[in-house]
Structure 1
């Protein structure tokens, strides 16, 4: 008997059956240049991901909607993910 592995359901969103091509975007000079180059060359990017730490520079937050529109105008959705800790336990300092 041959064991079969279930296909990850996320891949069903892509009609060609291939894994998605994702670009990690930090919105700094290097990652923006990478995305611009890939898009301008016509390389496949299915989505760009920006992980918002909540403590980015103000200029980064101001540029985010500008570059998001630029990408989306070229068919690349930009997804912003923000981590928000829950149930954080803080400990009092240990005195000696």
Structure 2
């Protein structure tokens, strides 16, 4: 049981390291989502393997925390992108084109 849990703990660590500085592009977002889903399915499989309700609940809780963190990071990135797009397009929309 400990070996399995450690294995997933390491998997999460590399997952988080890998996605700390990912680029805010739709393709990266898709890739990020795919990895998150893959990680989630691995988690559930290992939880059933362990066959221990308490560890399953811990794992579920951990996934939810990870997802919330990912969501916060995503919303910050999209918010920043929208602001930048607004600053770029507003002058043109209002008829003022900076030279």
Q: Same fold (TM over 0.5)?
A: no
TM-score normalised per structure 2? 0.29
Higher helix share: 2
TM-score w.r.t. structure 1 length? 0.30
Larger fraction in strand: 1
